Each structure stands twice: as C-alpha cells, then as structure tokens.
C-alpha cells in the first residue's frame, strides 16, 4: 500500500455496489490492508469513465482513494481481475454474489483480514476461471470462512467416546461436534458417511495450499454444500439473502 497525506493506494475486491444519482457509485471494497471500506466513485456509471469497469461488482482492482471531508473517494481505479463477464452462468453469478455477502458479514471495516480475502479470491477463481463444480466450491468457502472467523467445528473424533471414524458418523450442525453411531442422540444431527466426513475434515484442517485439491462425486458435493450452508447460517444466526437467491435458482 502506497500512502501520501490522506491519499492511499490499495488492491481490493468490489463486493457491493450502489448507484448514487445518475452517474455515481458507492462501492463496498474488501481491501487487502483495510478490510471493508466504502468509497464513492464519481462518474463511474458513465460507460466512458475509466472507473466504470474497475468499480463493478466482482472486480479485483487497484484503487487510489482519498479521504475528502470525512468520506472516501476513488480517484483512480485499474482492474486486475474481472471474475464475472457477459454470458456467464446465472448459478455462478448467484454464488459469486453470496461469496461477496460472506465478505461483508465476516470482514470488519478498517481491519485487514488477508486470510479471508485470499479464500474469497481463490474461490472466485476456481468457480469462474477453473469452472469447478459450484456446490463443492460453495462448501469449501462456507466452512473455511467459518474456521477463519472463529466458528470452527470439532471434527477430530466422537465428542462423547473419542471414536475417530464409523461407517456413519453424526455431525451436530448447531453445536459443531461429532457423534458416532452408538453415541448419537437428540436433535440437530446430520448423518455423514466416510466421504462426507473426510471432505469436512479436509476443509477444516488442511493447509491452505491444499484446500481445493480434492474431488468428490457431485451428489456428495451437493450434500456437503447443504451441510455447510446450514452450519454457517446457524452459527452466525444471519439470514444470507444471496444464499436464498442461490438456493431458489437450484430449486
């Protein structure tokens, strides 16, 4: 980050945009150095403006921003990566918007969260550039976001007897722990077979460089995404409007 007086340059992902007047935008940026910041981009809705592309949703760009009279204003913006283009799949767009909402919920204003930004950028890459199966990328992003944000489940063994693995284990999506078949009791448990349990453990415990390095059958990826979606929603008690939209498309 370069900074001179009250002007600074930072790389950031546009996670929200709002039209202001006829030609201006108020954008929410997930910045590498500053976490979540909101800045005005004058004339950005004008198709001839150099800021138009760089201040669009799902664009990772370099921004030069100035604090003017207590508000942040974008003076220069240069695109680095555009994660969504014309003709892209509506499911991919909906899921990408959901990742943006995750950013605004879990990243804090003025506080860097490079681990979460790295996760969101990589997930967008695998979703839009590598064309990986969307439910799998969804599951990875949701559960790893929970881990980064202090909501990591305990998946090491049965919480009651310590059994490491069973043909079917039971994951408590409300409390975030495992029970084996003999110990399972009560409500809130989701049955997970060895494939699902292995995937859950990989997402929670693997090094980041290995996070996306696994594949499971598509039907299992859908189950996994359902579990992680329920888990992050229950843990945060937050209604993700973009997740509802994504689910409505899937249905």
Instruction: Encode pLDDT of 81-97 as tens digits.
Output: 999 765 578 999 999 99
* Torsion on CA atoms 113, 63, 104, 219, rounded to nearest 10: -90
Q: What is the band of 24 on the pLDDT scale with cuts at 50, 70, 90?
A: confident
Three-state DSSP at 16 gives strand
CA–CA distances in Å: residue 220 to residues 5, 126, 131, 175:
53, 19, 18, 22
Cβ–Cβ < 8 Å for 140, 146:
no
The predicted structure's pLDDT at residue 55:
84
Model pLDDT, residue 185: 73
Sign of the C-alpha dihedral computed for residues 40, 46, 49 and 55 taken in this order = positive
Mean pLDDT (the chain, rounded): 89
Supply the pLDDT for residue 5: 60
Percent of the chain residues topping a pLDDT of 70: 91
| pLDDT bucket at 44, cuts 50 / 70 / 90 | low
The predicted structure's pLDDT at residue 1: 47
The mean pLDDT of 237-241, rounded to a whole number, is 91
The reported pTM is 0.91
Inter-axis angle of helices 114-128 and 90-106, nearest 10: 180
Tell me the per-residue pLDDT of 59-73, one tens digit each, with 9 for 90 and over: 999 999 998 877 888
pLDDT at position 20 over 70: yes
CB 218 within 8 A of CB 87: no
Residues 106-136 pLDDT 10s = 999 989 999 999 999 999 999 998 989 999 9
């Amino acid at each position: 980050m370069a900074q001179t007086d009250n002007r600074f340059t930072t790389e950031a992902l546009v996670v929200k945009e709002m039209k202001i007047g006829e030609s201006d935008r108020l954008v929410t940026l997930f910045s590498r150095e500053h976490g979540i910041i909101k800045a005005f981009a004058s004339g950005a809705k004008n198709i001839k403006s150099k800021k138009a592309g760089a201040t669009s949703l799902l664009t990772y760009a370099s921004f030069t921003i100035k604090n003017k009279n207590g508000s942040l204003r974008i003076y220069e913006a240069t695109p680095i990566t555009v994660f969504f283009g014309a003709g892209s799949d509506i499911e991919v767009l909906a899921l990408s918007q959901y990742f943006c909402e995750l950013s605004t919920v879990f990243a804090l204003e003025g506080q860097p969260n490079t681990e979460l930004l790295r996760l969101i950028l990589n997930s967008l890459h695998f979703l839009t550039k590598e064309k990986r199966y969307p439910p799998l990328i969804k599951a990875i992003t949701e559960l790893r976001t929970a881990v980064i944000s202090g909501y990591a489940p305990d998946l090491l063994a049965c919480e009651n007897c310590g059994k490491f693995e069973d043909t079917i284990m039971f994951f408590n999506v409300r409390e975030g722990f495992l029970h084996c078949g003999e110990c399972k009791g009560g409500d809130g448990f989701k049955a997970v077979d060895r494939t699902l349990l292995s995937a859950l453990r990989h997402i929670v415990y693997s090094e980041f460089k290995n996070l996306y390095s696994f594949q499971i059958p598509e039907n299992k990826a859908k189950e996994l995404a359902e579990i992680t979606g329920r888990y992050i929603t229950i843990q945060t008690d937050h209604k993700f409007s973009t997740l509802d939209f994504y689910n409505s498309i899937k249905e």
